[in-house]
A and B are shown apart, each in its own frame.
Chain A
Amino acid sequence: MARVAIQERLRNALFLVPYVVRNRGVSVSDLAQRLGMTRQQLGRELAMLIMVGRPPFTPDLMLEIYEEEDRVYVDLNQSLDRPPALNAFEVVALAAAAGPYADERRHGDAATAVRVALEKITRSLPEELRDWMERLSKQMAILTEEGVDSYLTLLQRAIEERLEVELRYYSASRDVVSERTVRPYGLVNRNGLWYLVAWCTLRQQVLVFRLTRILQAQVSERIFDPPQEELNCQQFVAERLAIPELGENEYVIRFSPAAARWIRQKWPAERLQETGDGSLDLALYDVSEEFVLSFVASYAGEARIVEPANLAARLAEEAGQMLDLYQTGS
């Protein structure tokens, strides 16, 4: 444990010095954030680094790194001016994250970009690391939604260049298609699904868009100003996607004993209520009716809407129409 920690401290330090060499006067908090450290941790590392040097440790042979008014400077870098090459774990980490996008079944700009990037990285590695990476990168993978590759590169470019985007978007919660101009702030992946966080000029607020529901996206030439306050897109998506624990509109869904086993595994106990006969009630608040209908339907009859009654009636009516469709045959 201690040795892993020391290796990591070493890696951090060997990155930190060249980073400050090239970003003279970087703020302490920016630097800490970039390294995933707290300010205190960074402060300790900086205090250690001023002691580093080489024999006979005269002032000109010491690393001269210091903090002044919350900013960090390096005056003497002692040949630590370039970032160290990627190590084996760093390469495996990159390959695990990016590799699935380079899958042979995938096409388009994103897949090509990933393939080329990974090739360039692999080529830069010493031979022994290359073999190791080949092996391990096949053994670790993070799979995410696959059908959105073309929008990923397009939207990322718009985010970086701060260009407004014209969207044609299918809103599943309202079951309508609409057109709008958005200011893209960030792309976020959550539980394998891709989302765009953007200011919607139609609704005049920041909204979350599911990438698969974008029917068309066109980057305009209009540059927008960055948001006044820095937005943590990942946190924003997490908050928006969370199903409220309480709310004004309550939906109660009853699961058969067979389905109840799954539901107990997936949902927190606070939302659940046993009915006594092995069935289980799940309470949801302030979700869309479309969501409730689809959610219940997907359980193939092992779930039904208890409340509100009018929604239960609507699903029964839909079911009747579907039954007619299948019975008459097409």
Chain B
Amino acid sequence: MPGPRPGTTGNSLAGKGNRQRRDRAERLLDLVTLLLNATRPVSREEIFAAFPDDYQDGGAAAERMFERDKADLLAAGVPLEYQRGDEFDSEGYFVDRQRYAMPELDLAPEELAMLFMTGAAALDAGSFPLSRALIMALNKITLAAGRDMAGAAMLGRQHGVDTAGTAALRLQERLKLLHEAIAARKKVMMAYYSFWRGEQTRRWVDPYGLCCVHGSWFLVGRCHLRDAIRVFHLDRITGLEKNPLNPQQADFQVPEGFRVRDHVARHPWQIRAHEPLTVRLRFLPPVAEVAAKELGPLVERVEEDGPARVLQLQVTYLEGILPTVLWYRQRVEVLEPEQLRQMTQAAWSRLAGRGGD
């Protein structure tokens, strides 16, 4: 259905809105348009006069409404500024066109491609709390680059897919709340089910960061109960509330140099259970090459041993690497340390039905 076009339908010309209430988004966009096109700062009085039906008499209610509008414009990314008057310039609000618009980023094709790929991966992770911001960021970057990406148009659609299911919705809400708490540095009261202890506890946590590993989300924060940095699996959080007191004031400081990905293990053997141990695994081809990639940059060294490859890595939780070793079955042999050899041997003994531990 073609919409009515201004000028052809006799759209209101003299001033805005004979209606009592109009869409706030419309007023905010009017404001942006006004300020982007202004050749000098626009005073508050002029703004009130331009939208008489919105700001009414310019009294206290109008002031409040205008404050809210300014805050929303800033939050939406419009760099609204105020200039004090002097003998040369008038006093008022303005938007710097240079700052408003996307600058030239000058991204090379492969740089743009990597941003897209990693962005798409984050959206695929599901429940990414900044998914809408991410879609918009990628859209803006492509538009500014004047070059479309394969699959760029699909990003929005992909995002729309993952909202099904109550568990997914609950996770989304939690991530959103935690992300807000992290940005504002507000502590959260959390009810958490510890799988290892098999018990439920309540505690205050200073949320430092969020991390998604293999599709599962983790919160890293300082736990007041244990007075230490702890990692929490979001699926095991049974209750969550942000500290409602002093919302404008930060509750804590994040330690200098904190990086969330330093605290979350991507593989179970990276959990810090003991001092690092050197593990040497002898893989047969072609699995050797595959394993080298699956263990990623964690592999310190690859040695050739005939057709086989010996991979060396540091492990801080031996129990954690056992399932991976066993998964490769006959294609891998543990060379070091002796303790892991014995664990592997004991496992094969049980699998052979010979008992024995």
Name A residues whose Cβ lies closer than 8 Å to a Cβ of B.
3, 6-15, 18-19, 22, 30, 32-37, 46-59, 62-64, 66-69, 78-80, 82-94, 96-101, 103, 105-107, 109-110, 113-114, 116-117, 120-121, 124, 126, 135-136, 138-148, 152-153, 156-157, 159-160, 170, 172, 177, 186-194, 211-213, 215, 232-235, 265, 293-301, 304, 315-316, 318-323, 325-327, 330
A54 CB → nearest B CB, Å: 4
Q: Flag if A298 contacts B324 (CB, 8 Å).
A: yes
In the complex, given contacts A86-B137, A139-B182, what are 5 additional A-B residue pairs having Cβ atoms less than 8 angstroms apart?
A52-B26, A66-B3, A94-B115, A114-B118, A323-B349
Q: How far is the CB of A24 from chain B (nearest CB, A)?
A: 13
Given contacts A126-B99, A139-B208, contact A234 B29 (CB under 8 A): no
A160 to B105, CA, bound (A): 21
Q: Which residues of B contact A316 (CB under 8 A)?
A: 351-353
Q: Are B293 and A212 in contact (CB-based, < 8 A)?
A: yes
* B91 is an interface residue with CB less than 8 A from chain A: no
Q: Is the CB of B113 within 8 A of A19?
A: no
Interface hub of B114, B132, B347 (most chain A Cβ within 10 A): B114
Q: Is the CB of A36 within 8 A of B350?
A: no
Return A4 CB to nearest CB of chain B, in Å. 9
Q: Kindly state whether residue B327 has any CB partner on chain A within 8 Å.
A: yes
Complex-state Cα separation, A327 to B29, whole angstroms: 77
Given A85-B103, A101-B118, A139-B209, check contact A36 B156 (CB 8 Å): yes
A87 and B78 alpha carbons, distance in the complex (Å): 9
Known: A84-B77, A93-B137, A301-B350. A235 touches B72 (CB 8 A): no
B134 touches A79 (CB 8 A): no
B21 in contact (CB, < 8 A): no
Q: Are B329 and A90 in contact (CB under 8 A)?
A: no
Report which of A48, A69, A106 forms a contact with B297, defined as CB distance below 8 A: A106
Assess the B140–A138 pair: CB atoms within 8 A: no
A234 to chain B: closest residue by CB: B158
In the docked arrangement, what's the CA distance between A304 and B182, Å?
Answer: 45
> Which of the segments B58-66, B121-129, B224-232, B271-279 contacts the partner chain?
B121-129
Nearest residue in B to A65 (C-beta to C-beta)?
A: B3
Q: Contacts A10-B73, A59-B13, A323-B354: A36 and B326 contacting too (C-beta < 8 A)? A: no
Residues on A with beta carbons closer than 8 Å to the beta carbon of B351 = 296-297, 300-301, 304, 315-316, 318-319, 322
Q: Is the CB of A34 within 8 A of B254?
A: no
- B200 CB to closest chain A CB (Å) equals 15
* A326 and B352 alpha carbons, distance in the complex (Å): 13
On whether A326 and B348 interact (CB within 8 A), knowing A62-B6, A94-B137, the answer reads yes
Give chain B's interface residues, CB within 8 Å of chain A: 1-7, 11-16, 22-26, 28-30, 32-34, 36-37, 50-51, 68, 72-73, 75-79, 97, 99-103, 105-108, 110-115, 117-122, 124-125, 128, 130-141, 143-144, 146, 149-161, 179, 182-183, 195, 208-215, 254, 258-261, 264, 266, 282, 286-287, 289-290, 292-298, 322-324, 326-330, 333, 335, 341, 343-354
A36 x B2 contact (CB < 8 A): no
Residues of chain A within 8 A (CB-CB) of B137 are 86, 90-91, 93-94
20 pairs, CB–CB < 8 Å, chain A vs chain B: A3-B72, A33-B154, A52-B29, A57-B14, A67-B2, A83-B101, A85-B79, A85-B99, A85-B102, A86-B141, A101-B114, A105-B297, A107-B297, A139-B182, A143-B266, A188-B124, A191-B215, A194-B121, A323-B354, A330-B333
Which residues does chain B contribute within 8 Å of A35, judged by CB atoms?
A: 135, 139, 156
Contact (Cβ within 8 A) A90 B33: no
Specify which of A55, A116, A325 lies most central, judged by the most chain B CB atoms within 10 Å of its CB.
A55
Which chain B residues lie closer than 8 Å to A126 at the CB level?
Answer: 79, 99
Quote the shortest CB–CB distance from A127 to chain B (angstroms).
Answer: 12
Shortest beta-carbon distance from A318 to chain B in Å:
6
Q: What is the CA–CA distance of A34 and B258 in the complex, to the nearest angstrom?
A: 35
Known contacts A34-B152, A46-B3, A113-B114; A100/B102 CB under 8 A: no
**How distant is the Cα of A232 from the Cα of B319 in the complex, in angstroms?**
39
Chain A residues within an 8 Å CB radius of B208? 139
Given the complex of chains A and B, what is the CA–CA distance between A139 and B258 in angstroms? 8
Q: Is the CB of B114 within 8 A of A51?
A: no
